[in-house]
Structure 1
Amino acid sequence: MPISRTRRNVLTLTAIALIVAVLVGVRLAGGGDPAPSDRAQPIVSTASPAVSAEPSATVPPAAKPPADLPVIAYAKGPRGLPADPEPTSVVAITEALRPETAMALYDAPGGKPRAYLPPQISGLPVVVPIVARESGWAAVLTPSSNRTIGWIPETGWKPEPLRDQIVVSLADRRMTWLREGTEQGRWTVAIGSDTTPTPHGRTFVMGRTGTSGAVYAGLDALVLGSVPEEPEKLAASLRNAHTGIHAWTNKSAFGRNVSNGCVRTPAAGMRELLAQLDPGTPVVVTA
Structure 2
Amino acid sequence: MVLASVLLLSAEASRAGAARLPFATTHATNAALPADPAPFAVNDGTLLHPVVSATIRDRPAGRPVARLPARQLGNPTWVPVVERVPGWARVLLPARPNGSTGWIATGEHVRIARTTYLVRADVRERRLTLLRYGRPIGSWRVAVGAAETPTPVGRTFLLGSLRENGSLVLPTGAHSDTLHDYGGGPGTVALHGWPDPSVYGQAVSHGCLRVPDEALRALSRVPLGTLVLIHSGGIDA
- Taking structure 2 as the reference length, what is the TM-score of the superposition? 0.84
Contact 1:189 1:254 in 2 (8 A): yes
1:239-258 equivalent positions in 2, closer than 5 A: 240-258=186-204
Distance in 2 (alpha carbons) for counterparts of 1:238 and 1:192: 19
Q: 2:148 aligns with which of 195, 199, 208?
A: 195
1:82 aligns with 2:71: no
Corresponding letter in the other structure for 2:189: T
Q: 1:181 to 1:92 in 2, by over 3 A?
A: farther
Larger Rg belongs to: 2
Distance in 2 (alpha carbons) for counterparts of 1:204 and 1:78: 18
Pairwise CA distance, 1:211: 2.5
Query: 2:114 maps to what in 1?
Result: 161
Contact 1:246 1:270 in 2 (8 A): yes
1:184 aligns with 2:132: no
Q: 1:108 to 1:69 in 2, by over 3 A?
A: same
Query: 1:147 maps to what in 2?
Result: 99
Task: Select the structure with the greater relative contact order (CA < 8 A; seq sep ≥ 6).
Answer: 1
Query: 1:129 maps to what in 2?
Result: 80
Contact 1:93 1:129 in 2 (8 A): no
Query: 1:170 maps to what in 2?
Result: 123
Query: 2:225 maps to what in 1?
Result: 280
For structure 2, list consecutive stretches of 5 or more residues without a partner in the other structure. Answer: 1-12, 233-237
Distance in 1 (alpha carbons) for counterparts of 2:24 and 2:147: 28
Pairwise CA distance, 1:230: 2.0
Distance in 1 (alpha carbons) for counterparts of 2:167 and 2:218: 11
Q: 1:152 to 1:64 in 2, by over 3 A?
A: farther
Pairwise CA distance, 1:114: 0.4
Q: 2:24 aligns with which of 57, 72, 79?
A: 72
Query: 2:51 maps to what in 1?
Result: 100
Contact 2:169 2:191 in 1 (8 A): yes
Contact 1:228 1:239 in 2 (8 A): no
Corresponding letter in the other structure for 1:118: P
For structure 1, list consecutive stretches of 5 or more residues without a partner in the other structure. Answer: 1-62, 213-217
Query: 1:224 maps to what in 2?
Result: 172
Contact 2:191 2:211 in 1 (8 A): yes
Identity, % of aligned positions? 34
1:102-121 equivalent positions in 2, closer than 5 A: 102-121=53-72
Contact 1:109 1:135 in 2 (8 A): no
Pairwise CA distance, 1:240: 1.3
Contact 1:231 1:239 in 2 (8 A): no
Distance in 2 (alpha carbons) for counterparts of 1:77 and 1:204: 17
Pairwise CA distance, 1:73: 3.4
Q: 1:197 to 1:238 in 2, by over 3 A?
A: farther
- Residues 105-151 of structure 1 show CA distances to partners (whole Å, capped at 9, x for unaligned) of 11111221100000011312100110001243210000133111100
- Residues 86-119 of structure 1 show CA distances to partners (whole Å, capped at 9, x for unaligned) of 1112x24311111010101111112211000000
Query: 2:213 maps to what in 1?
Result: 267
Pairwise CA distance, 1:229: 1.1
> Paired residues, what number?
216
Distance in 2 (alpha carbons) for counterparts of 1:144 and 1:250: 31
Pairwise CA distance, 1:239: 5.7
Cα RMSD for the two superposed structures: 1.9
Pairwise CA distance, 1:203: 0.9
Distance in 1 (alpha carbons) for counterparts of 2:86 and 2:117: 27
Distance in 2 (alpha carbons) for counterparts of 1:273 and 1:198: 19
